[in-house]
Structure 1
Amino acid sequence: MAMSNYTIKNVSSAEQLNKLITQFVAHEGWMPALDDHTLYYNTDPTGFFVGELDGEPISLISIVKYGDSFAFMGLYIVLEKYRRQGYGLALWTKALESCPFSYNIALDGVLSMTPLYRKWGFVDTFMSSKAQLNIATASTKLESFVPLYNVFVQPANQVDFNKLTVYDTDVFGAPHHLFLRGLVDGPNTITLVASNQNGGITGFVAARKTIIVEEGWKITPLYADNGQVARALLKAILKKMISNDPRRTVSMLLLASDTNPDTMTLSQEVDAVLLSDMCRMYTKGPLDFAKEKVYSYASAELG
């Protein structure tokens, strides 16, 4: 193990992060979106670390801070040939040390990794599920859905961003405006907002194009005050996705399966296929967020 030739550095730019995401995340079979590098980096430019062996990147991790008390870890990858040699542990330790001890740190861990995370003080809280759906099929399934009351859906950039920030922060549980701004402004992202007859925001959804054309889009997040709003938003954004780029036929959701049972009901209604489960873990107990409004999380990498 040539640890003397192994250095850990902050990722220096969104462009560098893009190269690393393409190299690491796509290689692992994940589904990064076209604008993830800009969206992620601008949320917290200090929160990304790369491990280099003899100048070549072999590992990657993020620990993105929201406000002055919460952080989220993700993008933890070591290239396969360099695993179980201490490189990942060194990177993991560096990332944790970069975050003040007072912060509550969270992550979404695949089930095979949760025993390791427990050793570092992370505690299981609830499960979520990755799901895949066919856009055309799901759109057809929702075609007959009509909300029981008026749900006004419009592009997010036509809504007062301050009002949207208040709603998003309440649902997410921490200051989230930089991530939200990146979603609303993203050139390869569709964002919609649902409102009631009084103009109050009742839901938000984003669909982001992935770097792999055949795998299409990620619907992350999908927030809604109730099932009527969730279905209205999903129906509307599926139509937008089809008209925006009909080549893209498959989507991914990060379902809040434990904390909002209606997510599973909705996934069944649109014939979504569950792919894998993840466990949300925290170092200082569950974050106080509007769990019942979360149908799809914002990001497996950033929370």
Structure 2
Amino acid sequence: MSEAHLPLVTEWARQEGFCPGVGDAGVYRHTDAGGLWLGCLGEEPVGCVAGIRYDQRYGFIGLFLVRPAFRGRGYGVALWRHALAHLEGVACIGLEAAPERLIDYSRWGFVAAYDTLRWRLPAASRSRCSGAVLPRGYAVVGRAELAADAGAHDLVLAYDARHEATPRPHFLGEWLGQSNGTVELVRDDLGCCRGFGRIRPCLLSDGAGALGWRLGPLLADAPVLAGALLDRLCSERTGPLMIDAPEANPRAHRLLQERGFQIVGRTVRMYRGRPPALPQQDIYGLACLELG
């Protein structure tokens, strides 16, 4: 897939209700230059898929769709096989499945691990995302300081590596460095990272050109830290706010409910190979369902 195709694929994702973040597809492409494809009939694009290889231990399949007019003809299977071939030899492959596709993916050796819930904050509840106070000994580091302080950036990379299936410095560097997002880090008085989060504009399925906000990743050692990060990231934002959180973390469920978020969707995380052992209690929001 070339860079010129990214706006088209982003629009397809919007129409499917993925609510893609502005600039997300470019990050997929930069994470694994050979892992993003467009399926064409002659010169006509009909579908796409991402098969991102982080390393030999972990890969992820996402952004998998075929235009409605071309479904049922085997084009999706062709894209699917192409992504799997690219990930040949990877120890574990993950994906995020719609509930009605569980049987389909299980035939290829994928096993359900846990549900992922999509939460959306109505405008009427926006006032609840304010006023969280960090405990004594903690401070928030904003985007400007992260950009200027290589040490702070390395703290985020190290913290993220403890909460992911495999370290992803290239992806995270791209993700956090995008100019269309805001990043916040919580640091304790010893200088250690205790959580971080990012928010970016997204394209809503409600209507062409409609903008909202996607939160993620949101990781923290404790609910009070996650709440303070969430409130800072959401402050002064207009438009709908969305976050994807693993149902396996009940602390995320309580935190989002307290702030008035409502569940608007559900997908299922599936793996082929041994599932990664992740500290789910610290994961309040995923970066992106299309990248794992």
Q: TM-score, normalised by structure 2?
A: 0.91
Which residue of 2 is the match for residue 168 of structure 1? 160
Question: In structure 2, what is the equivalent of residue 249 of structure 1?
Answer: 239
After superposition, the C-alpha distances for 1:31-56 in whole angstroms (9 at most, x for unaligned) are 11111122221111111111101210
State, as a whole percentage, how many aligned pairs show the same letter. Answer: 26
1:177-224 deviation line (CA, Å, top 9, x unaligned): 122112221111001111111110001100011134644110011111
Decide which of 225, 229, 237 is 1:229's aligned counterpart. 225
Give the SS at the match of 2:190: coil
Of 152, 171, 186 in structure 1, the residue corresponding to residue 139 of structure 2 is 152
Partner of 2:199: 207
Task: Tell me, yes or no, if the aligned pair for 1:256 and 1:294 is still in contact at 8 Å.
Answer: yes
Question: Is contact 2:186–2:193 with CA below 8 Å preserved after alignment?
Answer: yes
Matched, 1:265 2:254: yes
Q: Does residue 134 of structure 2 align to residue 107 of structure 1? A: no
Structure 1 pair 235–125 and aligned structure 2 pair: CA distance change class (3 A) = same
Structure 2: gaps (5+ residues):
none
Query: Helix, strand or coil: the match of 2:114?
Result: strand
Aligned match of 1:276: 265
Counterpart residue number, 1:7: none
Aligned to 2:106: 118
What is residue 83 of structure 2 aligned with on the other side?
95
After TM superposition, what 4+ stretches of structure 1 lie above 6 angstroms from structure 2? none
Where does residue 302 of structure 1 map in the other structure?
Answer: 291
3-state SS, counterpart of residue 267 of structure 1: helix
Match of 2:21 in 1: 33
Q: How does 1:123-134 map to 2 (within 5 A)?
A: 123-134=111-122
Cα 1:227–1:15 change in 2 (3 A) is same
Check whether the contact 2:122–2:261 (CA below 8 A) recurs between aligned residues: yes
CA RMSD after TM alignment: 1.7
Q: Secondary structure at the match of 2:231?
A: helix
After superposition, give the CA deviation of every residue in 1:98-129 in whole Å (9 maximum; x if it has no partner): 11234310001110111100000000111110
Report the CA distance between 1:71 and its aligned residue.
0.2
Judge conservation of contact 2:113–2:271 (CA < 8 Å) in 1. Answer: yes
| SS of equivalent to 2:132 | coil
Instruction: Give distance in 1, aligned partners of 2:154 and 2:85.
Output: 33
| 1:19-30 paired onto structure 2 within 5 Å | 19-22=8-11, 24-30=12-18
Partner of 2:190: 198
The alignment partner of 2:232 has SS state of helix
Shift of 1:156: 4.1
Q: Which consecutive residues of structure 1, in runs of 5 or more, have no partner in the other structure?
A: 1-10
Aligned twin of 2:282: 293
Aligned mates of 1:286, 1:109 — CA distance in 2: 15
Note if contact 2:195-2:226 (Cα within 8 Å) is conserved in structure 1: yes
Quote the Cα distance in structure 1 between the aligned partners of 2:140 and 2:91: 36
Q: Deviations over 1:229-258 (max 9, x none)?
A: 10110111112xx1xxx5x32111001112
Partners of 2:18 and 2:64 in 1: CA distance = 12
Alignment: residue pair count: 283
| 8 Å CA contact retained: 1:17, 1:41 | no
Q: Paired residue for 1:85? A: 73
The residue number in structure 2 matching 1:6 is none
Q: Which residue of 2 aligns with 1:15?
A: 4
Distance (Å, rounded) in 2 between the aligned partners of 1:173 and 1:289: 7
Over 3 Å counting, the alpha-carbon distance change for 1:211 and 1:165 in structure 2 is: same
Q: Which moved more, 1:281-290 or 1:123-132?
A: 281-290
Q: Equivalent residue of 1:171, what SS?
A: coil
* Matching residue within 58, 63, 74 for 2:51: 63
| Counterpart code for 2:181 | T
The SS at the match of 2:229 is helix
Residues of 1 paired with 2:42 and 2:55: CA distance? 35
